[in-house]
Chain A
Amino acid sequence: MPEEKKAVRKKIAAAADLNNFMRDYYLELDAAAQKGTPKIAWCTSVGPAEILRAFGFQVYFPETHSAMLGATRMATEFIPEANAIGYSPDICSYLTADIGAFLKGVTPLEKAFNIKRIPRPDVLVFNTNQCRDVQDWFSWYGEKFKAPVLGVHTYRGVGEVTDKHIFSIAKQLEALIPPLEKIAGKKFQLDALKRTVALSRECSELWKKILDTAAAKPSPITFFDGTTLMGPAVVGRGTQKAVDVYQILLSELEQRIEKGEGAIEDEKFRIYWDGMPVWGRLSAHAQLFSLLKANVLASTYCNSWIFSALDPEDPFNSMARAYTELFIVRADDVKETYIKNMLKFFKVDGIIYHDAKTCPNNSNCRYGMPQRLEKQTGIPSLTLNGDLNDLRLLSDEQTRTNVEAFIEQLQEHRG
């Protein structure tokens, strides 16, 4: 009988520092929640965190919390709780898992950091650049906690980012200031915003350098590593601590490149992942690909927390630009050019599109993009049906067969 093999993946030492970063981040939030100071703002993953930090809020990101529900395979159990109160199983399973867990009084933070509950918000601030679901999600909690909900409404299908886009979003960002001054109980300080924007930019640049190390052959990092290492890029934007921890990580990856050390043994195929990760299958997918000597090394997802436009000297306009240049809000032709550049830069052999049932905004394979890109680049692709959090929406066996057959196909063409 063919033996069940186990792939060897090289552990990243700095992962321990990143885990400590995340632990400290959540412990500080919990302490603030218990003492009632500093005040707590909830923010969407690409919401205006820099403004919130400039006011001195501790910032909590429900999307990251829900990703934890997914990664710990708790999400599927709680999604039906939200379904039962009117949130369809077809909408964002970050939302349904998170609300469902809240309804049951459960959080993965308890097992991870002995934190009993998520922090009560003083304000919730969304940006619909991720999707409209975040607005519904925050509104539900706003009502629950009797806390104000503020928001920025983004443009979608953006081709060229114009001054009109920037003006509109910048005005919305500026409009957040008066209500936030009232909630924070302090006046807005432009210099404080400039500082957080500068730190956010620095964090973003380091994160980009970290992800860019995957261009090396062999790549010192995998997409699956990236999804867990991206915590500081999401929750730590605008802080010195995020910058510090990423410098440690970058240094380790650069050393790996110097030594020619790959993240997987004997990297033979280089794969690009488009779409959300399947949080509950990170380890299984990492194992599946590495066993086939395929490194999923770059992704649209991890690269979505790179904000090169941020400029501390022009904070509102540059934030507006950074949040509008974001992949997820762009027109398909821009997205295609972006992916084509990524394929070239990372020297990719094949693309995996994750068609996440409950996340249409992050599923780019539904309007013919795989076929168009394959025609233009000659790089074959595979679409996997699944979901970010709802494990009822995927078949592990189908995934395995599809991935194995895809690697066989790449091998055939290599000859």
Chain B
Amino acid sequence: MITEPVYVGVDVGASRTKVAVLDASKNLVGYDVQKSGTDFMATARQCLERSLQMAGLNESAIANAVSTGYGRTNVSFARDTRTEIGCHAVGCYHYFPMAITIIDIGGQDNKVIKLDEKGRRTSFKMNRKCAAGTGTFLEEMSARLGIPLEGMNYLATHSTDMVKLGSFCTVFSATEVLENIRRGKKIEDIVKGVFFSMIRRVLEMDSMTQNVVMTGGVVAHNLYMVRMMEEIIERSIQVPEKPQLTGAIGAALYAMGGSSERD
């Protein structure tokens, strides 16, 4: 039984738009994920409708809505905006209320966010201008290899002799991939090499604290990357149940906070 009112978070990312609907007890009662496309406003609206449908509610049940992500100012039904850094922090802390380092690997950018034990941000880093280490890099590599994006996780898990890609830049990495194909390397080993390359790019952004949480669309669809990261940093990593929704859930939690003022 869903109790009204509900709170909505909308995360309009460069790649995907995510909507999360929380009830007053902070339960996730509806959600949706769609390609952001070129009309952010229409996509956000469609995601909202599907999420409400999942929850069996209509729009009148919404007490407040907050948007985040690159398209955060394009959401007609949101009453306020927050940065995706803030929303990922709040979303992660909701599931893991302790001092944590959050690694979010999204379509357009990566974030490393550090929270103290009270959930306050102590620092954050976003990747720099290039695509290395982001979902865009993975998309580029899947195109080069001629394999579907959703098949990469499976392939990586079957690697027996990972190929190391040394380049920092996406274009150079693509050339390296082609070079390895020419040398007859197995696709599985190249894909794992691509994963490894992304992990290295993320780890060079900042140091990790004891408790690490991974989120984002890339993580949601490529959980093997988490296992690889655990091996490298030599400790287990926490992943929320729906890692792609963390930003949207954070936005919904901000919506629940009531105040729409930063100050």
Residues of A within 8 A of B (CB): 1-2, 4, 268, 292-293, 380, 385, 393-395, 397-398, 401-402, 404-409, 411-413
Contacts and interface: CB of A to CB of B under 8 A. Distances in A.
B262 A407 contact: yes
A395 B109 CA distance: 12
Contacts of B79: 2
A407 B83 CA distance: 10
B123 A404 contact: no
A402 B122 CA distance: 14
B78 A401 contact: no
Contacts of B73: 1-2, 4
Contact of A402 (B70, B75, B76, B126): B126
A385 B128 contact: yes
Centre residue among B83, B109, B124 by max chain A CB count within 10 A: B83
Would you call the interface of chain A mostly helix, strand, loop, or mixed?
helix
A394 B129 CA distance: 7
A370 to B, nearest CB: 9
A16 B76 CA distance: 42
Nearest to B118: A412
Contacts of A412: 120-121
A408 B123 contact: no
Contact of A2 (B80, B124, B128): B80
Nearest to B88: A405
Contacts of A401: 70, 83-85, 126
Contacts of B126: 398, 401-402
B255 to A, nearest CB: 12
Interface string B93-128: 000000000000000010000000000111110101
Contact of B120 (A293, A406, A413): A413
B75 A1 contact: yes
A268 B121 contact: no
Identify the 8 closest CB pairs spanning chains A and B, nearest first: A405-B85, A405-B83, A409-B121, A1-B76, A412-B120, A408-B86, A404-B83, A2-B81
5 contacts: A1-B77, A292-B262, A405-B83, A408-B121, A409-B121
Contacts of B263: 268, 293, 411
A263 to B, nearest CB: 18
B67 interface: yes
Nearest to B70: A397
B129 A380 contact: no
B126 to A, nearest CB: 6
B262 A408 contact: yes
B159 interface: no
Given A1-B74, A268-B263, A413-B120, A408 B129 contact: no
B18 interface: no
A393 B78 contact: no
Contacts of A268: 263
B82 interface: yes
Interface string B250-263: 00000000000011
A118 B77 CA distance: 54
Interface string B53-80: 0000000000000010010111111111
A411 B126 CA distance: 19
B112 to A, nearest CB: 12
A409 B77 CA distance: 26
Contact of A405 (B76, B120, B122, B124): B124
Contacts of A404: 83
Nearest to A4: B73
B123 A380 contact: yes
Contacts of B129: 385, 393-395, 398
A408 B74 contact: no
A1 B121 contact: no
A113 to B, nearest CB: 36
Tell me which of B72, B77, B124 has the highest count of chain A C-beta atoms within 10 A of its own C-beta: B124
Given A2-B80, A398-B109, A409-B124, 13 more contacts: A1-B75, A1-B76, A2-B73, A268-B263, A293-B263, A380-B123, A395-B129, A398-B129, A404-B83, A405-B86, A408-B121, A409-B121, A411-B263
Contacts of A393: 129
Contacts of B122: 380, 409
Contacts of B124: 405-406, 409
Contacts of B109: 398
